[in-house]
Amino acid sequence: MSSKFVILSFVVLAVISSGCTGPGEEGSIPSREAVKMTVIAGWAPDGVISEGEYARKISPPGGIYEVFWKNDGETLYMAIKGETGGWVSIGFEPSVWMKDADIIMGYVDERGASARDAYSTGNYGPHPPDSDLGGTDDHLEFGGSEKDGFTVIEFRRKMDTGDEFDRAFRSGETVNIIWGISDSDDPERRHQKAGKARLTFM
Ligand code: HEM
């Protein structure tokens, strides 16, 4: 596993009213350390995509990858779900191929969920952490689960983080995305499946 990855483990300090279960659920990956997880307006980064937790969703052809999201003018809440035990990812607004995409990659292993706020500097990577490029890690919070052959990574970030290696999003805007999923947890190992789509913020 790359040391550049940030590892976050968590416990559920509150249970949202929809009755979703947390990371201790049977079959999910248990957390290693206890740090707090916020529940905001029905959203919790517990790796469980609950009824009503997100407002919008896209399911690109192939049926192996989905993105769920909701946002206001300030904050984006998002879940990426792939049919894999390896990493899942989303990249925003590439200029060509993978280049210049504002990427989030994540996976779940026995230590919990890991995520990288990354940026692709070339057509086919590399995509180092923003912090290696002089930017900042702008996940305000994230978590995930690996269960029944699917990996889910949930995160929230500011619509406009102020980091030059993150795209600044506006409410109502439609953006191009790229996605990839790998059967490996190693972020340096390439995807088995990848594709393109578009999504529109609320
Ligand atoms: C170690 C990580 C990665 C490597 C080595 C890698 C490498 C490559 C290579 C060589 C291609 C050329 C086409 C092909 O052979 O499939 C490609 C295409 C592609 N990659 Fe990656 N990639 C990585 C991570 C990612 C991530 C994280 C994403 C999404 C966020 C992504 C999205 C794509 C997409 C959408 C294409 C197809 C582009 C097109 O057909 O227009 N890749 N990648």
- 193 in helix, strand or coil? strand
CB 72 within 8 A of CB 202: yes
Average pLDDT (73-77) is 96
Distant-in-sequence contacts of 158-161, Cβ < 8 A, 24+ apart: 158/74, 158/75, 158/76, 159/71, 159/73, 159/74, 159/75, 159/76, 159/201, 161/136
Residues paired with 43 in a beta bridge: 40
Residue 194 Cα to ligand 1 midpoint, Å, equals: 6
| Residue 196 near ligand 1, beta carbon < 6 Å | yes
| Residue 120 near ligand 1, beta carbon < 6 Å | no
Q: Is 36 exposed, middle or buried (0-12, 13-18, 19+ CB in 10 A)?
A: exposed
Q: Report residue 13's pLDDT band, with 50, 70 and 90 as the boundaries.
A: very low
How far lies 123's CA from each of 16, 43, 71, 94, in Å? 41, 34, 29, 9
Q: In the chain, where are the structural domains located?
A: 6-200
Sheet containing 56-58: give its strands across: 56-58, 65-71, 75-82, 150-158, 141-147
Over the chain, what is the mean pLDDT?
85
| Residue 153 near ligand 1, beta carbon < 6 Å | no
Mutate to test the pocket of ligand 1, among 80, 98, 99, 130 (most ligand atoms within 8 A of CB): 98
Q: Regarding the domain delimited by 6-200, which CATH topology (the fold level of the hierarchy) does it fall under?
A: Immunoglobulin-like (2.60.40)
More confident: 22 or 194: 194
Q: What are phi and psi of 21, to 5 degrees?
A: -100, 160
| Residue 79 near ligand 1, beta carbon < 6 Å | no
Residue 69 Cα to ligand 1 midpoint, Å, equals: 23
pLDDT digits 0-9 by tens, 78-109:
999 999 999 999 999 999 999 999 999 999 99
- 145 in helix, strand or coil? strand
Average pLDDT (167-196) is 97
**Going by CA atoms, what residue is nearest to atom 38 of ligand 1?**
97
Q: Is 134 exposed, middle or buried (0-12, 13-18, 19+ CB in 10 A)?
A: exposed
pLDDT of the residue at 41: 76
Rounded to the nearest 10°, the torsion over CA 191, 156, 138, 114 is -50
Give, as one character, the DSSP assignment of residue 192: S
Residue 187 Cα to ligand 1 midpoint, Å, equals: 12
**Going by CA atoms, what residue is nearest to atom 40 of ligand 1?**
97
pLDDT of the residue at 38: 63
